[in-house]
């Protein structure tokens, strides 16, 4: 899942980001309300962890400007304000939960997990393409029913490509959104990781059914631009079904010879 932390205490924000990344989430950290609002509107994260006491725009202003514009992001408010009225106002503006400072990281992580679970009750957490299934909650991947072990960064890259729903993902966008790197970094890390994914996903299909479907097209290259999830045959063959395919082919040739 994609998490946005809006916290002007840089040390606290980095600590929270590190913990949530270790849980497998893609995390962005910004330190003021204006940038946080723009990031949320542009990237639509699954969860925003929002401090109330922020420069440029405070957390309440961010909620006011988000209110009614979209409902796709769950919001966990962090506040040192003890007044009940402040928390009630945040909840009325669309926040899903509030957590008083100081807090333990374990409680924050548990609240984040609860909000993300609640979110996927209204949306299918499983992305599907070309025989690949990616479960965003369990953080598991299968190809034609066979498990595929991915690193956290490989998982994030595959999730990004699958969320694009057949649209081309530019290398510059992948660098910025998956690696949080400058598009001008001049690195081939995207190509390297796409190759890792192709090998792992291709190995899962080859192990199951050999090459009876021809070249694997699970991730296709768009020359000069980037990558797109391909249109690989979405079939789950078994050993017996592969045998039946060969038997049917042999039978067809025999029938033709007798005709």
Tell me, yes or no, whether 41 and 99 share the same domain.
Answer: yes
Phi, psi angle pair for 133, to nearest 5° = -120, 125
pLDDT score, position 244:
37
Mean pLDDT by 10 residues, the chain (259 residues): 92 94 88 93 88 93 82 86 87 92 93 82 73 86 92 90 85 84 79 93 72 64 89 42 38 42
Tell me, yes or no, whether 70 and 133 share the same domain.
Answer: no
| Residue 178 lies inside a defined structural domain of this protein | yes
At 133 the three-state DSSP class reads strand
| Residue 259 lies inside a defined structural domain of this protein | no
The range of the structural domain enclosing residue 16 comes to: 2-120
| Torsion angle (degrees, nearest 10) of CA 125, 128, 132, 138 | 0
Tell me, yes or no, whether 78 and 138 share the same domain.
Answer: no
Tell me, yes or no, whether 133 and 116 share the same domain.
Answer: no
Extended beta strands in the chain, E state: 2-6, 26-30, 47-51, 74-79, 97-100, 126-129, 132-135, 140-143, 146-147, 169-170, 219-222, 226-229
| Residue 208 lies inside a defined structural domain of this protein | yes
Residue 52 near residue 78, CB atoms below 8 Å: yes
Tell me, yes or no, whether 151 and 231 share the same domain.
Answer: yes
Phi, psi angle pair for 213, to nearest 5° = -95, 5
**Final residue of a structural domain among 74, 101, 120:** 120
Q: How far apart are CA 23 and CA 112, in angstroms?
A: 11
Residue 20 near residue 3, CB atoms below 8 Å: yes
**Final residue of a structural domain among 120, 149, 184:** 120
Tell me, yes or no, whether 114 and 135 share the same domain.
Answer: no
Q: How far apart are CA 166 and CA 231, in angstroms?
A: 9
- Other beta carbons within 10 angstroms of residue 163's beta carbon come to 15
Number of domains in the chain: 2
Q: How far apart are CA 75 and CA 56, in angstroms?
A: 19
pLDDT score, position 197:
93
pLDDT score, position 150:
94
| Residue 104 lies inside a defined structural domain of this protein | yes
Tell me, yes or no, whether 113 and 133 share the same domain.
Answer: no
Tell me, yes or no, whether 130 and 166 share the same domain.
Answer: yes
- Report the CATH number that the domain containing residue 53 is assigned in CATH: 3.40.50.2300
pLDDT score, position 122:
54
* Max Cα distance, the chain (Å): 89
Tell me, yes or no, whether 64 and 146 share the same domain.
Answer: no
Tell me, yes or no, whether 209 and 225 share the same domain.
Answer: yes
Tell me, yes or no, whether 232 and 149 share the same domain.
Answer: yes
Tell me, yes or no, whether 23 and 40 share the same domain.
Answer: yes
- Report the CATH number that the domain containing residue 187 is assigned in CATH: 1.10.10.10
């Amino acid at each position: 899942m994609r998490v946005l932390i809006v916290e002007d205490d840089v040390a606290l924000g980095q600590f929270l980001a590190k913990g949530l990344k270790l849980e497998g989430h893609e995390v962005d950290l910004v330190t003021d309300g204006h940038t946080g609002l723009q990031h949320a509107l542009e990237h639509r994260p699954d969860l925003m962890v929002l401090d109330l006491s922020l420069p440029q725009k405070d957390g309440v202003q961010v909620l006011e400007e988000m209110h009614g514009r979209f409902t796709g992001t769950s919001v966990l408010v962090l506040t040192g304000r003890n007044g009940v009225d402040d928390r009630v106002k945040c909840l009325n503006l669309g926040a899903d939960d509030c957590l008083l400072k100081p807090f333990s990281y374990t409680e924050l992580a548990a609240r984040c997990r609860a909000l993300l679970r609640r979110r996927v009750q209204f949306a299918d957490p499983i992305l599907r393409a070309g025989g690949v299934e990616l479960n965003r909650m369990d953080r598991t991947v299968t190809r034609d029913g066979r498990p595929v072990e991915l690193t956290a960064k490989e998982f994030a890259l595959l999730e990004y490509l699958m969320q694009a729903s057949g649209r081309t993902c530019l290398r510059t966008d992948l660098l910025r959104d998956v690696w949080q790197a400058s598009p001008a970094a001049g690195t081939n890390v995207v190509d390297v990781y796409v190759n890792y994914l192709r090998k792992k996903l291709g190995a899962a299909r080859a192990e199951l059914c050999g090459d009876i479907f021809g070249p694997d097209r699970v991730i296709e290259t768009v020359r000069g631009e980037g990558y797109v999830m391909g249109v690989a045959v979405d079939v789950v063959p078994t050993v017996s079904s592969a045998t039946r395919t060969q038997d049917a082919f042999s039978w067809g040739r025999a029938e033709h010879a007798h005709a």
